[in-house]
Structure 1
């Protein structure tokens, strides 16, 4: 019996899913089985699609929901920006934000609640949105605050921009750089492990990545849209740029090639990723925006971004119809690893 029981325990352990996003194949199957759409649903859930689009009496609204699970510091602002980014990546302007705020039983205070509300309010002002509803409670079974955000937005134009719109021949533009959010999260959540190896000034800069270069891409998307046409945009979050490129390829049905030496990695991001032995290509990258646009417009778009104070670079291109992402590194072309599990989970979980 002991042997049999041990086998059952091992089987159960093998069936557990790791931290991070649901595996792509599992999520794809679940969406196809249970999320078939309905009246008013213009764009429903799909791999690589940042937000839903719904038609309400002739008005198209973008809708998004996302939780904040990696951080506890400044969690209210993170919730706003992460949801606003997905709205912006669909070619929409974030307008209305709802928050579900769960505070840990035994630790929750009025001060904690007010800090989160103040963070949400300030971030909404920056994103151009308003807090219009939500839910709060003191929750048993958690050890830190959790916030899930829900954002609604209105389209800038008549049609949404989706990851499915990338076309063969498009240039791929990346704003700011990779692992921006990861850098801020590491500096805030793992400060004790870093103090002996980096200066206080360096760690302050890393923690401030949340604000500079910043994790919001609302401005990035607005500038790009004004200087388009833009065929597709995507917001690299969990799984980093690698996951975003694979999702873009899957959504558009096109193959992609990028060059590693063209991908911006800011010095602080590179240093912290190297310190913990994680790959910045697979680390959460809110703050960067992946843009797919006709190659002939790339120079105008990057120039407009730079004029607005936003670093940008052409990192590759969309190729023929098909699927898959390749990367040119050290003179060799190879398949780009798909990080279904964010690199941060190696050091935070």
Structure 2
């Protein structure tokens, strides 16, 4: 925490500063944590509630997964999408990477005085379209308005409830697991930055915002020869990008990770923009991609299935988990050298929420 003891922008950016805020301020002061529930301490994409343990029915083992997120992206409209699709997709994806089928969403909106009704209606329609895509209803909500001097754009909070028959956590990575990335990195962050700052990148690059449940659900049932789940861990690389997500998975799992630069799916326009702007593409946010860690024997099968879906056509195996360099992520560069991929620090550029 900073010496002057105030909240700064970097505390919400997804890097080390945000993790410090969560650990030293939020978790430190929340002691009323229900026994038997998995949530705050694990810092997964959602919290789980075991139905059997909470309704005293030993015949059932389903897990309810709950997640919530607030979206304050600026501007609310960006190439090929807007904050409404982002809000629904982000919440659906947080459920999906924990192996949970989305059951229902709630939505709370804070709208500033003067916000155009046509724009507001477009946002609502986008939310509805994203929800319909994965068959999840929006069942409750709340709308507040505030003085135009108190808020410069719309804020949307979405909470999702899902059910998982087998919960997949981001701490389940094991040595030997292969790491699949479901598509190109950096599309959302760079397209948003170019739109917001008025950069002419001579490209039709658009945001990758998408609800991923229909793609992810197709690989969850896959099993190893021994009948065990093929997928050991999943995570969506949003704030902090691929670098932040992989470091978190390595640290939680107690494994090392090695990725190959030559195997990273990245558009030439994103790579060029990052080089021009001095941004590491591994730290750029994504809103329609997932990291899927899978047993080596099932890696090609999972990859083949993912590639059949429109959101996974650029999927690739980018690396593997190791029993060395515990908690660290290394990248084998195109020239054959190795370098550490560090957890992002400070206020990441560009901010995506």
For 1:300, the equivalent position in structure 2 comes to: 301
How big is each residue's C-alpha offset from its partner over 1:62-87, in whole Å with a ceiling of 9 and x where there is no partner? 11111222341121111000111110
How big is each residue's C-alpha offset from its partner over 1:76-105, in whole Å with a ceiling of 9 and x where there is no partner? 111000111110000011221111111112
How big is each residue's C-alpha offset from its partner over 1:205-226, in whole Å with a ceiling of 9 and x where there is no partner? 313x33xxx5332233212313
For 1:3, the equivalent position in structure 2 comes to: none
More helix by share: 1
Task: Point out the more displaced range, 228-237 or 107-116.
Answer: 107-116
Of 46, 49, 73, 1:51 maps to 46
- Show structure 1 runs of 4+ deviating over 6 A: none
CA shift, 1:296, in A, is: 1.3
Task: Point out the more displaced range, 143-152 or 218-227.
Answer: 218-227
| TM-score normalised to structure 2 length | 0.83
| TM alignment of 1:197-212, pairs within 5 A | 197-198=201-202, 202=203, 205-207=204-206, 209-210=207-208
| Cα distance change, pair 15–289 in 1 and its aligned pair in 2 (3 A) | closer
CA shift, 1:184, in A, is: 3.5
CA shift, 1:37, in A, is: 2.7
The root-mean-square deviation of aligned C-alpha atoms, in Å, is: 2.5
For 2:215, the equivalent position in structure 1 comes to: 220
Of 101, 109, 118, 1:101 maps to 109
| TM alignment of 1:254-273, pairs within 5 A | 254-273=255-274
For 2:226, the equivalent position in structure 1 comes to: none
| TM alignment of 1:314-325, pairs within 5 A | 314-320=317-323, 322-325=326-329
For 2:330, the equivalent position in structure 1 comes to: 326
Task: Point out the more displaced range, 267-276 or 299-308.
Answer: 267-276
| TM-score normalised to structure 1 length | 0.84
For 1:4, the equivalent position in structure 2 comes to: none
Of 102, 122, 126, 1:119 maps to 126
For 2:140, the equivalent position in structure 1 comes to: 133
For 2:340, the equivalent position in structure 1 comes to: 335
For the residues of structure 2 that align with 1:316 and 1:83, how far apart are their CA atoms? 27
Long gaps (5+) in structure 2 = 224-229
CA shift, 1:115, in A, is: 2.4
Q: Alignment length, in residue pairs?
A: 323
For the residues of structure 2 that align with 1:188 and 1:317, how far apart are their CA atoms? 35
How big is each residue's C-alpha offset from its partner over 1:131-160, in whole Å with a ceiling of 9 and x where there is no partner? 1112111123110111111111111xx320
Q: Are the aligned partners of 1:28 and 1:47 in contact in 2 as well (CA < 8 Å)?
A: no
Q: Are the aligned partners of 1:175 and 1:313 in contact in 2 as well (CA < 8 Å)?
A: yes
For 1:66, the equivalent position in structure 2 comes to: 69
